[in-house]
Amino acid sequence: MTNKKIKSAYVELVGTNAEEVTGSASLVRFLDYSILVDYGLRQSGNDKEDYITNLKRNKDIKPKKLDAIILTHAHIDHSGLIPKLYAEGADCPLYIPKGTKGLLTIMWQDCVKIFNADYDRYKRTPLYTQDNIDTALKHIKECDIHKTRKINDNIKFTYINAQHIVKSRQVYMEMTDGVNKKTLGITGDISDYDSRYWLSPLDELPYCDLIIGESTYANKKRLYKNRDRATDINKLSMTIKYALENRSKVIIPTFSLNRLQDMMAVIYEMYDGDIPIDIIIDAPLGINISKIWHKLIDCDNDLWDKVKSCNKFQYVTEFKDSQRFNDSCEPMIVICGGGFLQGGRATYWCKNNLSNPKSYIVFCGYSTPTSPAGKIKNGKATKIKIDDVWVENLAQIVTLNSFSSHCDYAHLLNYYSNLKFSKLCLVHGERGKRTEFIKSLQKELAMQNSTSKVAEHEINTKIHF
């Protein structure tokens, strides 16, 4: 608790997600309370710049003054800096979706592993240690979905479903000074698709005085069509067919949390378990997450049981085995961790296969435009720098558009235009595309005779409500 009483409630955008798709963090101030919602690593694609930004974070937050931290979901761009707060004196409850303590532990420990490797390589001071993780874990309070949790006499919140990944939540916060009431919604990341494995449908936020809403795909070109999944399945099927004919490798860089498990299920269902090619799962983090996957999912348990028992999936944890499979002349699919190609085993596989015209690189998720993955996907660069090595961009590039964990343009427009709110601040998106989306959304609201306001703000902006 701070000593300074706030005259009106406000949210300060203390994360880089105010201006880009990474580094989520919103500081809620009401009366003399400070509550932080999410605190994620910046992962823009510039490794050195990201480290400096993440190292200097916290200065506007004052960890020792925090009364609570609320987490929307376990993705590292939302959760990855939380142990750093406890390293710098935070001593407040950490509220997380029920069932994610083990998942968070795995994710944070993977971060420490990366920090230690960066220290050995670049002499960068680790952002936090295992001891800091242990401290953060002691402060965890797991919260059921749809059950209101009281933080103090003036503030309470409720988790509702976000669909984005397993156990992802939106936050609905209610605040009162005894006379006046304020309501705040923070979407975290959201999706709203019928074709998602493992997940329950998206919930709709109640009326809010202010909503902090994601806008990752606030781009008219990003439109999901029902036929996209069938198109992507056909693309993947043909890619595997050509790989078998040409004895090629199919490299699928992917996120270890949710997307890896999605891709395994997709390939299993494509062939009803009778998969004609070996599949190498080279993602130590993803393998660890998969071990507890049955505890995290809302549905499709029978499907996961079949996937995990399929003998066509070969799991790799030791790097020497990655090298052995890479040297093999046998056709194979490699699902490897590191969707942006900024780290993880995917960097190794792409570094060694991108220059081979017979290799296939399959992208199945969002990539920041400045990341190696983003540069490969746009096809403009003849050479790509991966893991400090320049590699010719000669492989066959396949992009699967239906495997998103974010709402597309139409879903965002529909979701926000159907909510009731006074103000909506869009974050977690590219500024130019977000600006155009605001015009479209404001026009849609005007057609409904709504006086709700939509805006975007720069980092460290205070939004009163």
Domain ranges of the chain: 10-220+405-464, 227-399
pLDDT for the residue 377: 86
Give the pLDDT score at 4. Answer: 61
In the 3-class helix/strand/coil scheme, how is 114-171 assigned residue by residue? HHHHHHHHHCCCCCCCHHHHHHHHHCEEEECECCCEECCCCEEEEEEECECCCCCEEE
Match 């190292």 to its residue by tokens. Answer: 55
What pLDDT shows up at residue 3? 54
Residues in the chain: 465
Q: What tokens were used for 426? A: 């869009």
> Following DSSP, what letter does each residue of 177-239 receive, concatenated?
SSS-EEEEEE--SB---TT-SS-PPPPPP--EEEEEEE-TT--TT----THHHHHHHHHHHHH
Q: How many CB atoms lie within 10 A of CB 462?
A: 12
DSSP of 239-307: HHHHHHHHT-EEEEEE-TTTHHHHHHHHHHHHTTT--SSEEEEE-HHHHHHHHTHHHH-SS-HHHHHHH
Mind spelling out the 3-state secondary structure of 66-90? CCEEECCCCCHHHHCCHHHHHHCCC
Per-residue DSSP letters for 400-414?
-SS--SS--HHHHHH
Residue by residue, DSSP assigns 36-75 as EE------SS-HHHHHHHHHHTTTTT-GGG-SEEE-S---
The series of mean pLDDT values per 10 residues for the chain, 465 residues long, is 71 95 96 97 88 86 96 98 97 98 98 95 96 98 98 98 98 96 98 92 98 94 82 96 97 96 98 97 97 97 97 96 97 93 90 96 84 84 87 94 91 97 96 93 96 95 96
Per-residue pLDDT at 11: 98
How far apart CA 26 and CA 11 sit, in angstroms, is: 6
Q: Collapsing DSSP states into helix, strand and coil, what is residue 22? A: coil
- At 34, is the secondary structure helix, strand, or coil? strand
Nearest CA to 157 among 140, 170, 176, 171? Answer: 171
Residue with token string 């936050």: 171
Architecture of domain 227-399: 3-Layer(aba) Sandwich (3.40)
Q: Are residues 182 and 9 in contact, defined by beta-carbon separation less than 8 angstroms?
A: yes
DSSP E strand boundaries for 316-379:
332-337, 360-363
The per-residue pLDDT for range 368-395, each reduced to its tens digit, is 777 888 888 887 788 988 888 899 999 9
Class of domain 10-220+405-464 as given by CATH: alpha beta
The whole-number pLDDT of residue 387 equals 83
> How many whole angstroms separate alpha carbon 23 and alpha carbon 44?
9
Q: State which H helix or E strand residue 416 sits in.
A: helix 409-418
The per-residue pLDDT for 16 is 95
Its sign, for the CA torsion 32, 37, 39, 44, is negative
Task: Give pLDDT tens digits for 52-109.
Answer: 999 998 777 899 999 999 999 999 999 999 999 999 999 999 999 999 999 999 999 9
